[in-house]
Amino acid sequence: MKVLAILYKGGKAAKEEPRLLGTVENELGIRQFLESQGHEYIVSDSKDGPDSVFQKHIVDAEILITTPFHPGYLTAELFEKAKKLKVCVTAGVGSDHIDLNAAVKHGAQVLEVTGSNVVSVAEHVVLSILLLVKNFIPAHEMIERGDWQVSDVARNAFDLEGKVVGTIGAGRIGYRVLQRLVPFDCKELLYYDYAPLPEAAAKALNARRVEDLKDFVSQCDVITVNCPLHEGTKGLINADLLKHFKKGAWLVNTARGAICDKDAVAEALKSGQLRGYAGDVWNVQPAPRDHVWRTAKNPLGGGNGMVPHYSGTTLDAQERYANGTKSIIENYFAGKPQEPANIIIGVGKYETKAYGQR
């Protein structure tokens, strides 16, 4: 059978560092495993347009492996052509680049390596919150420039202690972010999620659920976005909702770029409605060179903590999601049931409750 993997190009780094498993060069470490069983394994980063390797081979691939870091967008239109496709495996977490309703229609399963990088992302969120609140990046840039003017950076630096922090989405990542914030003595930890946390889990963190989104954002000094991208979250953080944020709030989004309206967020940062915006996810990936999020700043010239999409692809995470991808494929070959938590779309139906209420 044909197994097609769309991964990101790792270049020199991937040749020098074999633990960069999620790259085209290192192929998730599964070539020998697949070929020894007589399967064909096509690996490429070429994913856009009708002449791409992705679109050429999707027509007769039985297993598709993709990664959120360099998403091969499997649209409803492409599903029509993918006559043999049975399994889509996301090497990582987050399968919004697959048209999930089309997967249901075509009876293709969508599986993720659930949990594989949730700690990696939660740590990155805490880092991003701190670097925004402490105004860290402008302070470091000042040092590299050769300057030393403490007041210029201290005028926009605060403590996390005593602030209200809220997460949109309190699943594996959102919950771990709140857990990691407990020792910072925040004023309150809030969450907004249609699925309430189990009572004991909420109590362990003293986390309070706010059911109305506008009410929720109006109470937070820091908001972190940790829900999947689906019909109900696309453009959720838009110009209208941003008006309800506290003036000068900090926003961290490591979930998916398209949950935030690109221009509305940039405008809010420029006007000072947001004091800072940080994250690693972009509405288009790779982000174009002139993407406004690369350079947007608050009125004092700071508040931008954007990086490329890498929080969930630390070397530790890559080992976990490469192993998890292999296990999913082994189960498929052996006709064994998949780990229930890894099933986003089972044959003909949504198995997860995290991609919207339906």
Q: With binding defined as CB under 6 A, does residue 178 bind ligand NAD?
A: no
Smallest separation, CB 72 to ligand NAD (Å): 16
Q: With binding defined as CB under 6 A, does residue 118 bind ligand NAD?
A: yes
Q: With binding defined as CB under 6 A, does residue 258 bind ligand NAD?
A: no
Options 219, 285, 298, 304, the catalytic residue: 285
Considering only residues 316 through 335, tell me which ones interact with ligand NAD, judged by CB under 6 A: none
**Candidates 2-10, 146-154, 164-172, 323-331; binding stretch for ligand NAD (CB under 6 A):** 164-172
Smallest separation, CB 91 to ligand NAD (Å): 11
233 appears as a binding residue in the annotation:
no
Smallest separation, CB 9 to ligand NAD (Å): 18
Q: 3-class DSSP state for residue 37?
A: coil
**Candidates 71-79, 135-143, 229-237, 293-301; binding stretch for ligand NAD (CB under 6 A):** 229-237
Distance CA 60, CA 2 (A): 7
Options 309, 318, 320, 342, the catalytic residue: 309
Binding mask 186-225 for ligand NAD (x = CB under 6 A): ------xxxx------------------------------
Count of C-beta atoms within a 10 Å radius of residue 49? 8
| CB-count burial class (<10 Å; 0-12, 13-18, 19+) for 218 | middle
Distance CA 40, CA 33 (A): 11
Q: With binding defined as CB under 6 A, does residue 169 bind ligand NAD?
A: yes
User: Is residue 219 annotated as part of the catalytic site, yes or no?
Assistant: no
Q: Which residue minimizes CB distance to ligand NAD?
A: 171
| CB-count burial class (<10 Å; 0-12, 13-18, 19+) for 134 | middle
User: Is residue 117 annotated as part of the catalytic site, yes or no?
Assistant: yes
Q: What angle do CA 306, 310, 315 make, to 5 degrees?
A: 145
Q: Are 163 and 188 in contact (CB under 8 A)?
A: no
Q: Which of 173, 177, 237, 329 binds ligand NAD (CB under 6 A)?
A: 173
Distance of CA 163 to the CA centre of its chain: 25
Q: Which of 255, 287, 343, 345 binds ligand NAD (CB under 6 A)?
A: 255
228 appears as a binding residue in the annotation:
yes
Distance CA 237, CA 222 (A): 14
- 118-133 and 136-145 helices cross at what angle (nearest 10)? 70
Q: What sign results for the dihedral spanned by CA atoms 81, 86, 91, 93?
A: positive
Distance CA 251, CA 265 (A): 9
Distance CA 27, CA 44 (A): 9
Q: With binding defined as CB under 6 A, does residue 66 bind ligand NAD?
A: no
Q: Which is nearer to ligand NAD, 47 or 309 (CB)?
A: 309
229 appears as a binding residue in the annotation:
yes
User: Which residue in this structure is represented by tokens 């499997």?
Assistant: 74
314 appears as a binding residue in the annotation:
no
User: Is residue 318 annotated as part of the catalytic site, yes or no?
Assistant: no
Q: What positions carry a catalytic annotation? A: 117, 256, 285, 309
Q: State the residues that interact with ligand NAD by CB under 6 A.
A: 92-94, 117-118, 121, 168-174, 192-195, 226-229, 232-233, 254-256, 280-281, 309, 311-312, 354, 356
Residues marked as binding for substrate? 93, 117
